[in-house]
Amino acid sequence: MHPVISVFAASPDEGRGLARDMPVRWALEEVGQPYQVMPVTFAEMKEEAHLARQPFGQIPTFEDGELVLFESGAIVLHIAEGGRGLLPDDAIDRARAVAWMFAAVGSIEPVVVQRESAIYLEGDKQWHKERLAIIEDRIANRLGELASALGDANWLLGEFSAADILMVQTLRRLEDSDLIERHANLSAYVERGKTRPAFQRAFAAQKAFFDRNHG
């Protein structure tokens, strides 16, 4: 039996590879682990069966035998720990990689998601433009700090790791803006991630699923 991940039955990302099953797919592709997907409708996300897997009614979930996980960052970490090539062998470098994974989902992603909420949920509010500007200033500050930390390196730890999966995916959520383009090294970093064969397989699989269900 292959691991099973839950995905949107009708993804709001419209096949752009931005839904949170994407980093999980990418990690599985990097370690060469076949997997299955279980489409879940928005109504099903609030039903007891799915809430038993994901108490907040979101995707993805990850099921492998008796193990059931939620939160994409935790799932990617589990995959990385069970495979080869996504975490350094050295204990200190491994701990640093995990720290960068937390940074992606804890320091960068929250403010990026705030921007998405402001655009899609608050666009009709009188104060929308002012709030969006404040959020984008916060993002710009975070990206400046990230760009300084990355410097001239190809990847966050020198060698590609699970931290880069989560960070690249987070930064891709800003591709509809010029925020990434302000930092040449971050733009190049995202493009490097997108050229990885495992990323391309994961992206193609998610898009093919979307196209089949919305053709």
Per residue in 45-101, pLDDT (tens digit) is 999 999 999 999 999 999 999 999 999 999 999 999 998 899 999 999 999 999 999
Cis, peptide link before residue 60, omega less than 30° from 0: yes
- Matching residue, tokens 């599985």: 28
Cα separation of 47 and 52, whole Å? Answer: 9
Amino acid letter at 93?
A: D
Average pLDDT over residues 127-137: 88
Q: How large is the average pLDDT for residues 123-130?
A: 81
pTM of the complete model: 0.95
pLDDT in tens, 163-185: 999 999 999 999 989 999 999 99
What does residue 152 show for φ and ψ, rounded to 5 degrees? Answer: -95, 5
Alpha carbon distance 89, 56 (integer Å):
34
Sign of CA dihedral 177, 212, 30, 104: positive
Of 137 and 117, more confident: 137
What six digits make up the tokens of 33? Answer: 């682990």
Structure tokens at 197: 């064969």
SS3 at position 135: helix
Amino acid 215: pLDDT: 59
User: DSSP code of 89?
Assistant: S
